[in-house]
Structure 1
Amino acid sequence: MKLSQKMTRLGLCAAAAVGLVVTVSGSASANTILGIGQGAGACPTNYVCLWTENSYVGNTGSTGKFAAIASDQNISDMGKLERKGGLWTGMQDVTSSVVNNTGSSICFYEHNDYGGAEFRIGPWERWPSLPSWINDKISSFKYC
């Protein structure tokens, strides 16, 4: 294997180990971090964080979904968060716990583009277990 191929693989592994940051067009300062760690304390200040399991635990299992994400922006389609060439394919309809580490209210929605049932949480709120009617059903969220 060529040295450049080895360096590319090493770089990709390092990025996966510390989490990937995706900058979404529209704002130079907007970021979504894919694959944050476990526990409410893993949520950075001024971010909204979502985990696939209760108690701020992420489990990719065989679903290929993100274990957890953090974002400082509105996300209209959780299924479009993906890493090309990797196992992760999004976080649509898999969220079971959330942290709002911002000074604003956050509205989570059952459907893409902020449609369907709405679940609103206040600034700095933590939900280790979502209510059953919205658990594993979040498809989009925004500041509200």
Structure 2
Amino acid sequence: MKRVTLALCAAVLAGAASTSAYAADIQRGSGIEVCPVDELCLYENWDFNKDTHDARVLSTYKDIAHLDDYNFNDITSTVYNDTGRIVRLYPHYDYEGAPVTLVPGESIDFKDANGNFNDQISSVRFMN
């Protein structure tokens, strides 16, 4: 019985480790429609990658302390929050610096709204 319990605990821990390893997915495309439902999307270019259909889009529903882990540090030009949660985007790793806050359903094109934040995002945190 102890061996079965130990094996079951190991399997549960292995499953938890594999699911927690996922934090983001990167795809190529343009437009809001490439953003998966219930995820935050960071677009490499302005206007949701409008003029560059093969540009990258990072999508996530989890905190990311280092966007550099996904080769997406200081690259974001447009964001779309398709989650039901408030999200904060930070200019430095580990959620440091004055953030930009997005409410559910909000998008920001940094070319138009806040050029100071264009290509400056280094970490992402979900607030609720």
Number of residue equivalences: 108
Aligned to 1:122: 103
Alignment of 1:40-119 (within 5 A): 40-57=32-49, 67-81=56-70, 90-119=71-100
CA separation in 2, counterparts of 1:109 and 1:128?
Answer: 15
Compare the two structures and name the one with the higher helix fraction: 2
Largest Rg, 1 or 2? 2
Aligned to 2:7: none
Contact in 1 for aligned 2:42/2:80 (Cα 8 Å): yes
Aligned to 1:85: none
Q: Check 1:120–1:27 CA distance in 2 against 1; reply closer, same or farther (3 A cut).
A: farther
Aligned to 1:37: 29
CA separation in 2, counterparts of 1:26 and 1:104?
Answer: 24
Task: Report the RMSD for the aligned CA atoms in angstroms.
Answer: 2.4
Q: Higher relative contact order by CA 8 Å / sep ≥ 6: 1 or 2? A: 2
* TM superposition outliers: structure 1 runs of 4+ over 4 Å: none
Q: Check 1:42–1:113 CA distance in 2 against 1; reply closer, same or farther (3 A cut).
A: same
1:37-96 CA distances to partner (integer Å, 9 max, x unpaired)?
21111101111000111111185x9xxxx7221011111000011xxxxxxxx0100100
Q: What secondary structure is seen at the aligned counterpart in 1 of 2:41? A: strand
**Which shifted more, 127-136 or 42-51?**
127-136
Structure 2 unpaired stretches of 5+: 1-15
Structure 1 unpaired stretches of 5+: 1-24, 82-89
1:86-123 CA distances to partner (integer Å, 9 max, x unpaired)?
xxxx0100100011010001000000000012100101
TM-score w.r.t. the length of structure 1 is 0.67
